Structure 1
Amino acid sequence: MENDRRPVIILVRPQMGENIGAAARAMLNFGLAEMRLVAPRDGWPNPKAVAMASGAAGRVLDRARVYPTLAEAMEGVEFAFATTARGRELSKPVHTPQSAMETARASQGRVAIIFGPERAGLENEDVARANAIVTVPVNPDFPSLNLAQAVLLMGYEWGRDDLPPEPSPHARRERAEILADRIEIERLGDHYEEKLAEAGFFFPETKAANMRMNLRNMWARLVLTRGDVRILHGILRQLTRR
């Protein structure tokens, strides 16, 4: 598409159809739609890729184009990032995924992200065709990422500004059930304080007032729904039943 500013994903000599399908799923998670394949080892189309793409991501594969060389796959691309975890003797700017996609968003032309084959990654000849390198800051003792993971990371960094905001756990919970009000929390605290006093919990007497205050403070900090309060009352009644 002429005005499509989304990065092109180029997979160079991918070896397994399953990894191509998983990469397509990762792309679609973040709205990336154009995949280009350079000399896939097992040919194209690949039924294992289709099976792994699972449903909607199959449309990424349906539109995927195959090229014999990386140079030809760079058609229409004005700026390209090569992903690699290894040090290179080639002198190029090195980006993290975040800074790479910030550069991509600011670019006026089409950007490509190039990924190498699963076993060994991109060759120097491939990297030489890119404008810059992207390296993921991972554990130096185990820097290996599989193909789909690498695509997912880059896709996330591209799409993060456009992703729908994720509500906090408390916000999700409030929609599911009404939170207990302060009176309900107070009554719960009274119930526990009464039963704990009967059990001799507030001992010695010189520390009792401070123990009661800490217990009230604990109840006030908790985010409880009305259902939670009912359960906690029920637990205490069951435990103190004679």
Structure 2
Amino acid sequence: MNNQQFDEQPRRVVNADVGLNTFLTKMYGWMALAVLLSAVSAYFVSTNQALLSTMTGSGMWIGLIVWFIFPFLVNGQAFKRPTVSFVLLMVYALITGGIFSVYSLVYSGTTIVSAFVSSAVVFIVMALYGTVTKRDLTRVGAQATAALIALLVALVINMFLHSAIIAYVFSFVGVIIFTALTASDSQKMKTLYLKSDGSGNVTSGLAVIGAMQLYLDFVNLFIFLIQIFGGAGSSRD
């Protein structure tokens, strides 16, 4: 009896590790695919004058409305219909790329590439840290979320002030906030998986939600970094 208990314990640990690795691979893989689709979409639209003209007109407002609605649809369908939720995430990534194509009219190719590569490096480092660290990042995530709310309010106020200096400073604040959120969100999704029952739908649903959240972290890192690089004098004349 005792031997059987000792034999089963390592097996449970191994199975848990395998399940966690599978979950993390799926979540980060889907997030990476979403980023890739956004990059391809942005490049395709930016090189097509007709589509680019649409995105700078009324199409931009339609795209932005859909852009804000889709995350709620993705999260709402995650546990009910994981496959549908995954498809919605990919569509969202394509829409995001289309919206971001307008950056080609404002920033140089060097600025865009520099911001993208920098975002990728920061994201990978912080996501890895959040996944492997033993430190509880819950408080860090809560503080970053509170700071994000304050930043959004300040950005709205600055829309009336039109201060380029304030916007530039806020870009650095935004990078710090989403750097912290990347680490805390990575740890949060790992914790949620370990607390789940590990069933197929739950695992897939959590993977989609995690991919969506981390994708948003990456996108916002990119937005603030491109403003920093552009404000440093690399914008298109």
Q: Which has the higher strand share?
A: 1
Q: Which has the higher contact order (CA 8 A, sep 6+)?
A: 2
TM-score when scaled to structure 1?
Answer: 0.25
Structure number, greater radius of gyration: 1
Q: Which has the higher helix share?
A: 2
